[in-house]
Amino acid sequence: MIVSTFDYARLFGPGLPPPAARWNGRVKFDFTGGNNDPERVPLEGLIAATESVLRREGRRLAIYGVDNGPQGYRPLRDFLAGKLAADAGISCTADDILLTSGSNHGLDLVNATFLARGDTVITEEDCYQSALNRFNRIGIDVVGIPLDAYGMRMDGLANALKDLKRRGVAPKYIYTIPTVQNPTATVLPPERREEMLRLAHAHGVLIFEDDCYADLTWSGRRPPAIYAMSRRGGVVHVGSFSKSIAPALRVGYVVAPWEVMSRMLALKTDAGSGALEQMVLAEYCIRNFAKHVPDLRHGLRAKLDTLIEALREHFGDMVEFDVPQGGIFLWVKLPDAVDTMKLYESALAKGVAINPGQQWSVNKAHSRSRLRLCFASVSHEEIHEGIAALAEVCRRDFGVSKDSAP
Ligand SMILES: Cc1ncc(COP(=O)(O)O)c(C=O)c1O
């Protein structure tokens, strides 16, 4: 290895985020991240799809954007237009869809299109960490709205909008994950979606709808997307194949009218997102998506049941949670004595990784003793063993065990 004596630091640009930590591999019991179930990656189907699409159209890879322009591989956009109409009630065409490198790329493009330092965004109080990090990085004031068992509370939203107006602040958008929210896994009912649209319209605020878990409701049914319910526009919608197929494929999408699309395209300077994934997904999904997703949901639901069983066995009544309506996460409340930022450190030393609540919330007091557990990528055995190990750390460091007095 070359030992560098060059001083890079004096040349770094201003305002860089803190350096990333080096990746040291996954721990034994990893309940973090938005990973999927390795057993449910539709491997044979993806192998067959890769072979058939490459044999038929592989030479198109010689052309940027596989000769389908900057919005991405057309057959995948056509598939999405059909799927979004059938599942989410969204009426759009391939021209309204931009394929991105994961929906995180979509978040970046939408943020870059609308936000500037000092702007205000409204979100669910407990919220996707990467979205919060993005807002912090740009210098956005984030206003968190409390959730209940049905997602964002509309009285909270109405009060926040009124309060901001009184202070002369015009928020840019309401960033919401209405269908299987991250981390609470709540599903916002249609009446609240209507009310959100009414309030957003009355205050001239855009709604930024992140629907990346929407395929994973246990019932297989979901309310119409907010994008679909709006009769006046004013909604931008993002989705992903990460949660329904596999996150390492890096394919997400943004649905937006041309007025917004044309601005995002001007900002998307990567000469197109990876086309091979888009081609394979189109080939696979056109024939198999409708069969694959119920199978995935079934497997995830079984893992959630195992997690709940393990929590009851090792924590008794010391844990509180609402049973998710779908998805890959359980949002758990431990007794107030537990600071989950500290628990995170000591559990990690025992080979158990959790997501501490404070990283997933704008309300640090409310989330202090909460944590998020991803149950998708761990096996049933790992769930039992990992939760037993976590319970042991809680007992040792915080005196919290299933036998302790409430
Ligand atoms: C709410 C939400 N939005 C967006 C993403 C980004 O997903 P991807 O970039 O893999 O599509 C995630 C990933 O966990 C998420 O939870």
Predicted local confidence at residue 11, as pLDDT: 95
Q: How far is the CA of 247 from the centre of ligand 1 (A)?
A: 9
Pocket of ligand 1 (CB under 6 A): 34, 102-104, 128, 177, 182, 210, 212, 240, 242, 247, 252
Q: How far, in Å, CA of 154 to CA of 93, rounded?
A: 31
Identity (one letter) of the amino acid at 339? D
Give the predicted TM-score (pTM) of the model: 0.96
Of the given ranges (54-68, 97-111, 290-304, 389-403), which has the lowest mean pLDDT?
389-403
CA angle in degrees (0–180, nearest 5) for 246-329-172: 85
- Residue carrying the six token digits 């995180």: 104
Mean pLDDT for 283-294 is 97
CA neighbor of 78 nearest in space, from 100, 94, 99, 57: 94
CA neighbor of 113 nearest in space, from 254, 17, 272: 254
With a CB cutoff of 8 Å and minimum separation 6, the contacts of 68 are 74
Q: How many Cβ atoms from other residues are within 10 Å of residue 49's Cβ?
A: 21
CA angle in degrees (0–180, nearest 5) for 262-267-268: 95
Please indicate whether residue 284 or residue 2 has the higher confidence score (pLDDT): 284
Q: How far is the CA of 36 from the centre of ligand 1 (A)?
A: 12
Q: How far, in Å, CA of 38 to CA of 377, rounded?
A: 6
pLDDT classification of 249: cutoffs 50, 70, 90: very high
pLDDT classification of 356: cutoffs 50, 70, 90: very high
Please indicate whether residue 401 or residue 18 has the higher confidence score (pLDDT): 18
CA dihedral of 312, 317, 321, 327, whole degrees rounded to 10: 0
Q: How far is the CA of 183 from the centre of ligand 1 (A)?
A: 11
The yes-or-no verdict on residue 378 having pLDDT over 60 is yes
> Each residue of 201-245: pLDDT tens digit?
999 999 999 999 999 999 999 999 999 999 999 999 999 999 999
Of the given ranges (23-37, 76-90, 149-163, 255-269), which has the lowest mean pLDDT?
23-37
Predicted local confidence at residue 404, as pLDDT: 66
Q: How far, in Å, CA of 357 to CA of 43, rounded?
A: 34
Predicted local confidence at residue 26, as pLDDT: 86
Can you list the positions of beta strands (E) in 112-211? 120-124, 141-145, 147-148, 151-152, 173-176, 206-210
Task: Please report how the helices 380-398 and 275-315 are oriented relative to each other, as an axis angle in degrees rounded to 10.
Answer: 50
254 strand-pairing partners: 98, 238
With a CB cutoff of 8 Å and minimum separation 6, the contacts of 305 are none
Expressed in percent and rounded to 5, the helix, strand and coil fractions of the chain are 50, 15, 35
Q: How far is the CA of 215 from the centre of ligand 1 (A)?
A: 13
- Residue carrying the six token digits 């237009």: 81
The phi, psi pair for 337, rounded to 5°, reads: -65, -20
> Each residue of 124-165: pLDDT tens digit?
999 999 999 999 999 999 999 999 999 999 999 999 999 999
Q: How far, in Å, CA of 248 to CA of 69, rounded?
A: 24
- pLDDT above 70 covers a percentage of the chain that reads 99
Predicted local confidence at residue 25, as pLDDT: 87
Q: How far, in Å, CA of 211 to CA of 73, rounded?
A: 21
Burial class (CB in 10 A: 0-12, 13-18, 19+), 265: middle
Cβ contact 119:175 at 8 Å: no
Lookup: tokens for 71: 């919005």
pLDDT classification of 2: cutoffs 50, 70, 90: confident
Q: How far, in Å, CA of 49 to CA of 76, rounded?
A: 13
The yes-or-no verdict on residue 1 having pLDDT over 80 is no
The yes-or-no verdict on residue 34 having pLDDT over 80 is yes
The yes-or-no verdict on residue 406 having pLDDT over 70 is no
Q: How far, in Å, CA of 123 to CA of 213, rounded?
A: 17
> Each residue of 311-339: pLDDT tens digit?
999 999 999 999 999 999 999 999 999 99
What's the whole-number average pLDDT of the chain? Answer: 96
Q: How far is the CA of 212 from the centre of ligand 1 (A)?
A: 6
Residue nearest to atom 13 of ligand 1 (CA): 34
Q: How many Cβ atoms from other residues are within 10 Å of residue 173's Cβ?
A: 23
pLDDT classification of 252: cutoffs 50, 70, 90: very high
Predicted local confidence at residue 15, as pLDDT: 85
The yes-or-no verdict on residue 405 having pLDDT over 80 is no
- Pocket probe mutation, ligand 1, options 182, 213, 237, 278, max atoms within 8 Å of Cβ: 182
